[in-house]
Structure 1
Amino acid sequence: MRKVYVDVMSSFTKDGALLPLYFVWEDGTKYDIDKVFDFRKAASQKVGGQGIRYRCRVMNKEVYLFLEGNKWFMEGK
């Protein structure tokens, strides 16, 4: 597995939480985030790195999106 850095469009809620709306995979495909279940400080056990881990639903699959400093990444194959 490897770290895949992705472009993310996000917004702030009225409470100040940063929530991702969609991301663009390395091949240029845009994926809408259907739901953000939760977010917390966590490390990626598969590819290393740590930051804020967003547990999301994308196309009926659960995925993790990480915000490490000011960069977004996902766990790729």
Structure 2
Amino acid sequence: MAGSMNKREKRYVAVEVRFEEDGRLRPLAILFGPEQIYKIDKIKDVSRRAAEVGGVGDRYLCVIDGQESKLWFEKGRWFVEAKV
């Protein structure tokens, strides 16, 4: 059963985003609903990658409350690898 505890799924989310002067996207917060808003403190890396939950997109390695979290931008939509 230990493997199922780490199971993740693709979950599309709303993201507060700023467009930088050079055209880059800068995600500011992830919104899971009106009560669940997670402010992104820092973007450590942006690179094109394949997600473990399927799909290929730009992976933003974010820091939220001191924890690393992955946020993906694929075909105009944002998603996270959410725990099941």
Give the TM-score, by structure 2 length.
Answer: 0.83
Equivalent in 22, 25, 42 of residue 29 of structure 2: 22
| Residues in 2 aligned to 1:28 and 1:3: alpha-carbon distance in whole angstroms | 20
Name stretches of at least 5 consecutive residues in structure 1 with no aligned partner. none
Give the paired residue count. 76
Equivalent in 45, 49, 56 of residue 50 of structure 1: 56
Bigger Cα Rg = 2
Name stretches of at least 5 consecutive residues in structure 2 with no aligned partner. 1-7
User: Between Structure 1 and Structure 2, which shows a larger proportion of helix residues?
Assistant: 2
Structure 1 segments (4+ residues) deviating >6 Å: none
Contact kept in structure 2, 1:21 and 1:33, CA below 8 Å = yes
What residue is the counterpart of 1:70 in the other structure? Answer: 76
Q: Deviations over 1:11-49 (max 9, x none)?
A: 11122111100011268400000001111111112x111
Equivalent in 4, 12, 17 of residue 10 of structure 1: 17
